[in-house]
Amino acid sequence: MRLFDKLFRYEAIDRIFSDVAYIQSLLEFEAALARAEAKAGVIAASDAPIIAAACQADQFNTEELAAQAALSGNVAIPLVKKLTELVRKENKDAARFVHWGATSQDAMDTGVVLQLRQALEVVDQDLERLIFTLATLSDKYRATPVAARTWMQQALPTTFGFIVAGWLDAIVRHRSRLSELRARNLTLQFGGAAGTLAVLSARGPAVARALAEELHLPLPAIPWHTHRDRIVEIAAALGLCLGTLGKIARDISIHAQTEIAELAEPAGLGRGGSSTMPQKRNPVTCATVLAAAHRVPGLVSTLLSSMVQELERGLGGWQAEWETLPEIVSLSGGALHHLSEMLPRLDVDAKRMLANLEATHGLIFAEAVTTSLGDRLGKLPAHLLVESACKKARAENRHLKDVLREDPGLRGYLTPADLERLFDVRDYLGSAEEFIRRVLAEVSSTATAS
């Protein structure tokens, strides 16, 4: 089913995980293996280019490979068989050394690593773009007041720039995390049948070094056939990143509700409409991101449970990765791309944000008044006095400032000028500006370092 691919996925990543691209990644391993074994003196130097020349995915029928994989248990077995046939047509002696010393999992794991290397580069580019967009938004709206909300209720004044800085700070961490784990986890897999490279005898380590150099991959200390922490850490990190993308989408969609209307996804022909309600402006990108954020945790859980593998080759656990991992990368990369595309055009209604601060008729400033009174009356008496005034303001549908102005308990403690100041949103933003400055400075220093 491909109807929803453009909604949930990103073509640049889907191309990397297409059937043809996967076959080509396995063939890249086979070609590199031949060159490495020629360098190490395992096969004749003349054999390597003959084998490498046959390693072209367009010479392989993916449907035939799929049918044969259903019988053999993996796609590498029929692929190596077909590759051997192609090489044999050119040179019978060279055909003897196709896939020499390797096992199916070597080709398949390394092939996936090569795909992940490409995909995570695309992810990094979109993270970089998202960071730039969020930094721009945070700076632009650093002094734009908006209601902070806890438990879905108005709490205190904050700024929209502060909210965006929180999103930004998390995304910076995700980019750093993914960058760090790429260097550690995108390694060569090459161990032969049981991980010991027994077929290659004493020349195994030299072939492994040469193979790693050919593929520009780090060489691990030992093959990792049934130790899947590298793969699962990448999946888990993408799941973490998607969790933050989902949080951003959730926040935006709440701010975009009709009754709040502080934010809106960009309008456009055919975008966000309804089949029956002409007035609708639905947050399509938010829905896409949230759908992915609901789906991926279960997929990450699948990989976590698949780590418990048997001895030197997993039975079922390894196989559970084959479709699950690409799905995680595809959904995460798609959500990231769609959000990074939408956010530069996000509609921000600063006037509506300011108007909504008065939705509770001044109750949002109750803590500010309590704090000021607490310095003079003590915390508990001040709290009880303001709490009583809030109840009265609600019951009489009056502004809290007017109720407090008439309260005899305030006489001698708060002047009319004090009250005016306490109900000024700019007077109760705390350290929001300082926190924004810190996050933006971190982004700037990271960009300079890179």
Element (H, E) at 430: none
Which residues does 76 contact at the CB level (< 8 Å), separation at least 6?
Answer: 26, 104, 105, 107, 108
Buried residues in 430-444 as b, exposed as e (16+ CB within 10 A): eebeebbeebbebbe
Domain boundary among 83, 102, 121: 102
> In angstroms, rounded to a whole number, what is the distance separating the alpha carbons of residues 53 and 98?
12
CB-based contact 143:173 (threshold 8 Å): no
Nearest CA-CA partner of 160 in 242, 251, 249, 250: 251
Residue 374: CB atoms within 10 Å: 17
> Is there a domain that residue 445 lies in?
no
Judgement on whether residues 148 and 67 belong to the same structural domain of the protein: no
- What pLDDT score does 351 carry? 97
Residue 271: CB atoms within 10 Å: 13
Domain boundary among 102, 118, 142: 102
- What pLDDT score does 8 carry? 87
- What pLDDT score does 277 carry? 53
CB-based contact 24:114 (threshold 8 Å): no
**Higher-scoring residue by pLDDT: 448, 371:** 371
Catalytic residue among 209, 313, 405, 437: 313
Residue 22: CB atoms within 10 Å: 22
| Confidence band, pLDDT 50/70/90 cuts, at residue 414 | confident
> Is there a domain that residue 37 lies in?
yes
Nearest CA-CA partner of 110 in 187, 172, 185, 36: 187
Judgement on whether residues 85 and 116 belong to the same structural domain of the protein: no
Amino acid in position 443:
V
| Weakest-pLDDT range from 97-101, 246-250, 405-409 | 405-409
Number of domains the chain is built from: 3
Nearest CA-CA partner of 95 in 52, 33, 54, 51: 51
Which residues does 396 contact at the CB level (< 8 Å), separation at least 6?
Answer: 403
Residue recorded with tokens 């508990």: 380
Q: Is 274 a catalytic residue?
A: yes
Report the chain's C-alpha Rg in angstroms. 30
Q: Is 313 a catalytic residue?
A: yes
| Weakest-pLDDT range from 69-83, 314-328, 398-412 | 398-412
> In angstroms, rounded to a whole number, what is the distance separating the alpha carbons of residues 202 and 195?
14
Share of the chain above pLDDT 90, in %: 88
Judgement on whether residues 20 and 128 belong to the same structural domain of the protein: no
> Is there a domain that residue 140 lies in?
yes
CB-based contact 124:117 (threshold 8 Å): no
Residue 118: CB atoms within 10 Å: 16
Pair type for strands 153-159 and 145-150: antiparallel
Judgement on whether residues 119 and 98 belong to the same structural domain of the protein: no
Which residues does 294 contact at the CB level (< 8 Å), separation at least 6?
Answer: 246
> Is there a domain that residue 179 lies in?
yes
pLDDT (average), residues 301-326: 97
CB-based contact 136:409 (threshold 8 Å): no
For 169-191, how does the pLDDT look when each residue is reduced to its tens digit (9 = 90+)?
A: 999 999 999 999 999 999 999 99
What's the half-sphere exposure (Cβ side, CA atoms, 13 Å) at 4? 10
Q: Does residue 403 have a pLDDT over 90? A: yes
Catalytic residue among 46, 176, 179, 274: 274
Judgement on whether residues 11 and 158 belong to the same structural domain of the protein: no
CB-based contact 429:156 (threshold 8 Å): no
Judgement on whether residues 309 and 382 belong to the same structural domain of the protein: no
What's the half-sphere exposure (Cβ side, CA atoms, 13 Å) at 267? 5
pLDDT (average), residues 37-51: 97
| Weakest-pLDDT range from 192-196, 423-427, 444-448 | 444-448
Q: Does residue 11 have a pLDDT over 80? A: yes
> In angstroms, rounded to a whole number, what is the distance separating the alpha carbons of residues 252 and 265?
8
| Alpha-carbon dihedral 3, 8, 10, 15, rounded to 10 degrees | -50
3-state secondary structure of 411: coil
Domain that holds residue 33: 1-102
Element (H, E) at 348: strand 347-348
Structure pTM? Answer: 0.93
Element (H, E) at 270: none
pLDDT (average), residues 303-309: 97
What is the CATH classification number for the domain harbouring 54? 1.10.275.10
Judgement on whether residues 10 and 42 belong to the same structural domain of the protein: yes
CB-based contact 21:77 (threshold 8 Å): no
For 437-450, how does the pLDDT look when each residue is reduced to its tens digit (9 = 90+)?
A: 999 999 998 876 66
Judgement on whether residues 138 and 32 belong to the same structural domain of the protein: no
Judgement on whether residues 324 and 178 belong to the same structural domain of the protein: yes
Judgement on whether residues 78 and 130 belong to the same structural domain of the protein: no
Q: Does residue 363 have a pLDDT over 90? A: yes
> Is there a domain that residue 340 lies in?
yes
CB-based contact 232:299 (threshold 8 Å): no
For residue 150, the cross-strand partners are 153
Judgement on whether residues 379 and 337 belong to the same structural domain of the protein: no
pLDDT (average), residues 111-135: 98
> Is there a domain that residue 10 lies in?
yes
For 250-292, how does the pLDDT look when each residue is reduced to its tens digit (9 = 90+)?
A: 999 999 999 999 999 998 766 656 556 566 678 999 999 999 9
CB-based contact 281:272 (threshold 8 Å): yes
Judgement on whether residues 59 and 10 belong to the same structural domain of the protein: yes
- What pLDDT score does 290 carry? 98
Domain boundary among 85, 102, 119: 102
What is the CATH classification number for the domain harbouring 388? 1.10.40.30
394: left (phi over 0), alpha (psi -120 to 50) or beta: alpha
